[in-house]
């Protein structure tokens, strides 16, 4: 079974704090993704990575950065958290080609 | 860009059939996915269509018409456990990107 794990299920941070969200997959997938999910808006792609140290912006990268130093690990960084970054954050991974993405359980981040 | 529309909510009775429609207008199309997401859980893969026609998997079927920019997910013999959100996602011409609709919440009533 493919397993995608995320470092926290729930996280509460203060405005201006630096926040790290970690994602680890155990299936040697090349591609990894970070989404945020908000009611009525669906999943929106923040960043993705198609190889170690490679990254590309998704649809809403502003206020976020990412790091992929090892194939199995993809980190999302909020440099200075703001209240409008309160959301559910989902990580996903997939192998190359027309295959499905496998999602982690999500991190519900609240910024106060 | 991608514009993907699906109904917000649907309600059906246990044992019945429900059809969830998804229409899309995209700058590039390379296949369409359906995912199921129970409240508080991760989305899980249901089906993938890249050619026109119907794909059947047990109680779930998915249909695609590329010329009409239209897909549907058909859930038959509904069970209470099918109460969930169903997400339509279009795969971009590059291998990586999926664009998701806002999701359809299906409530199954006894």
pLDDT tens digits for range A76-106: 999 999 999 999 999 999 988 888 999 999 9
Could you give the percent of chain A with pLDDT greater than 70? 98
Question: Shortest Cα distance from A104 to chain B (angstroms)?
Answer: 6
Where chain B has pLDDT below 70, the residues are 1, 95
Please check whether residue B42 touches A, CB under 8 A. Answer: yes
Determine the number of helices (DSSP H) and then strands (DSSP E) in chain A. Answer: 0, 11
Q: Hey, what long-range contacts does A8-13 have (CB within 8 A, 24 or more apart)? A: A8/A107, A9/A105, A9/A106, A9/A107, A9/A108, A10/A107, A10/A108, A10/A110, A11/A107, A11/A108, A11/A109, A11/A110, A12/A109, A12/A110, A12/A111, A12/A112, A13/A78, A13/A81, A13/A109, A13/A110, A13/A111, A13/A112
Please check whether residue B50 touches A, CB under 8 A. Answer: yes
* Tens of pLDDT, residues A64-73: 999 999 999 9
Residue A83's φ and ψ, nearest 5 degrees, are -60, -30
Cα dist. B20→A92, B4, B70, B102 in Å? Answer: 24, 13, 11, 13
Least confident range from A10-24, A32-46, B34-48, B82-96: namely B82-96
A to B CB pairs, distance under 8 Å:
54
Are A43 and B43 an interchain contact pair (Cβ–Cβ within 8 Å)? yes
Decide if pLDDT at A10 tops 70. yes
Decide if pLDDT at A2 tops 70. no
Could you give the percent of chain A with pLDDT greater than 90? 88
Predicted pLDDT at B95: 66
Predicted pLDDT at B64: 98
Are B96 and A48 an interchain contact pair (Cβ–Cβ within 8 Å)? yes
Q: In chain B, what residues touch A97 (CB-CB under 8 Å)? A: 95
Please check whether residue A102 touches B, CB under 8 A. Answer: yes
Question: Shortest Cα distance from A71 to chain B (angstroms)?
Answer: 16
Predicted pLDDT at B92: 84
Predicted pLDDT at A99: 85
A98 vs B31, B41, B99: nearest CB: B31
């Amino acid at each position: 079974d493919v397993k995608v794990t995320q470092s926290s299920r729930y996280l509460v941070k203060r405005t201006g704090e630096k926040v790290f969200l970690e994602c680890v997959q155990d299936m040697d997938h090349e591609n990894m993704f970070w989404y945020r999910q908000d009611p009525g808006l669906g999943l929106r792609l923040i960043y993705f990575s198609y190889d170690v140290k490679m990254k590309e912006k998704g649809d809403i990268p502003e206020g976020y950065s990412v790091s992929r130093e090892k194939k199995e690990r993809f980190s999302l960084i909020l440099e200075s958290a703001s209240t409008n970054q309160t959301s559910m954050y989902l990580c996903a991974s997939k192998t190359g080609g027309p295959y499905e993405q496998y999602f982690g359980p999500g991190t519900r981040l609240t910024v106060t | 860009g991608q514009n993907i529309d699906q109904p917000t909510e649907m309600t059906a009775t246990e044992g019945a059939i429900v059809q969830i429609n998804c229409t899309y207008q995209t700058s590039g199309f390379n296949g369409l996915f359906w995912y199921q997401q129970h409240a508080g859980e991760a989305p899980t893969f249901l089906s993938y269509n890249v050619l026109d026609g119907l794909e059947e998997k047990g109680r779930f079927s998915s249909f695609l018409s590329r010329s009409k920019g239209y897909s549907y997910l058909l859930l038959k013999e509904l069970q209470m456990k099918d109460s969930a959100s169903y997400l339509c996602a279009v795969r971009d011409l590059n291998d990586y990107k999926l664009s998701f609709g806002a999701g359809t919440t299906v409530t199954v009533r006894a």
